[in-house]
Amino acid sequence: MSATTPSKLEKMLKAGHQAVTSECGPPRGSDAEAIKEKARMIKDHVDAINITDNQTSVTRLCSLAACIHLKLAGLDPILQMVTRDRNRIAIQSDILGAASFDIHNILCLSGDHQSFGDCAAGQNVHDLDSMQLIQTVRHMRDEGKFLGGEDIKRPPSMFVGAAANPFADPYEIRVPRLAKKVAAGVEFIQTQCIFNLDKFERWMGEARDRGLLEKVYILAGLTPLKSAGMAKYMKNRVPGMDVPDEVVARIAGVPKEKQAEEGIKMCIEAIQRLKEVPGVAGFHVMAIEWEEKVPEIVEGGGLYPRPKLD
């Protein structure tokens, strides 16, 4: 399969390699050094780097500007874009802005509700939803047109991704929902953090049975746990997260000072197991404020060195 965009991530996937992506959160200030430093730590171990878009609705340096910093540093960023904060004018405009810097990847999200963040009293936009954002990018890229119908001079060339949560409720529509995103035009999926490997494998099996895995690349999302406390927090407090009791028990079963090490080990084991699951096209490692551990995880998972593309 030949790539349709210059995205390194797309080329890697289409060449049949298991891809590795990771993510960095922009700083709460205008010093870009922090995000550049995070990216430098992981750049040799990943194919592309997601830049989160005001995650958990906390105001930060914008995803687009941070992506530009990485792009100028020679990296391949994935522009995360939430529909919470932009109407269709701003969305199309930001897509063109990103395209003008040859940012070739976008991840289409609805975004956490603003009540979680530092502007709970603010409005949300949600002019489009995440599926409609996927359609919008594909329309701009493939038709070379704005939503309004006019031609775009030099349309964006972006590899289009979205998130999927195999664990959210209601379970019966998890696969139909993926099918819907595929129908909307999504090309790669980064999943929610996987702790319940059995359930993830079941979901993959059902997606495979529906023939979806021939149409979309699934990158399994993994997050190393730092402590038993974090495991419990993820289990009980983070919406749509499925952390099985045995995962919490395992990390809680080792002494506090060894828990971080155990968390990394569990993450590596997950990669090793999921690598063998048919249809797993790669991994998305979300080491939250722990980016320095990404190389160790990627190496431990047997995903390093990264394949060279021609």
Partner 1 sequence: MIVANGKPLEEIIGVVKGHRKILVAGCNECVTVCEVGGTKEVGILASALRLHFLNQGVEAQVGETTLQRQCDREYVVGARVTVEPYEIVVSVACGVGCQFMAEEYNKVPVVPGVDTSFMGGALERGVWSERCQGCGTCLLAKTAGICPVSRCAKRVLNGPCGGSTKGKCEISKDVDCAWQLIVDRLSSLGRMEDYEVLTPIKDWSTDRAGGPRMRIKEEVAS
Cα distances (angstroms) measured from residue 46 to each of 64, 78, 125, 137, 243: 20, 12, 33, 24, 26
Q: Contact between 127 and partner 1 (CB under 8 A)?
A: yes
CA 60 – CA 26 distance, rounded (Å): 6
Size of the site for partner 1 (CB under 8 A): 37
> Cβ closer to partner 1: 183 or 249?
183
Choose between 45 and 84: whose C-beta lies nearer to partner 1.
Answer: 84
Binding range to partner 1, per CB under 8 A, among 13-21, 63-71, 105-113, 250-258: 105-113
The secondary structure element, H or E, covering residue 282 is strand 280-285
Which residue's CB is nearer to partner 1, number 127 or number 296? 127
Measured from the CB atom, the residue of 170 and 305 that comes closer to partner 1 is: 170
Which of 31, 169, 209, 246 binds partner 1 (CB under 8 A)? It is 169
Residue 309, CA distances (Å) to 11, 88, 117, 123, 158 in order: 8, 35, 40, 44, 18
The answer to whether 84 contacts partner 1 (rule: CB under 8 A) is yes
Phi and psi of 244, rounded to 5°? -65, 155
Q: Is the Cβ of residue 162 or residue 248 nearer to partner 1 in the bound state? A: 162
Nearest distance in Å: CB 145, partner 1: 13
d(CA 239, CA 226): 19
Of 300, 232, 235, nearest to 270 (Cα)? 300
| 172 is an interface residue for partner 1 by CB under 8 A | yes
> Footprint of partner 1 on residues 226-245 (CB under 8 A)?
239-240
**Does residue 88 bind partner 1 (CB under 8 A)?**
yes
Cis-peptide, bond into residue 176, ω within 30° of zero: no
Q: How far is CA 293 from the centre of its chain?
A: 17
Give the span between the Cα atoms of 22 and 56, in whole angstroms: 18
Smallest separation, CB 287 to partner 1 (Å): 20
- Which residues make up the interface to partner 1 (CB under 8 A)? 83-84, 88, 110-113, 115-116, 124, 126-132, 135-136, 147, 163-165, 168-170, 172-173, 176-177, 179-180, 183-184, 192, 239-240
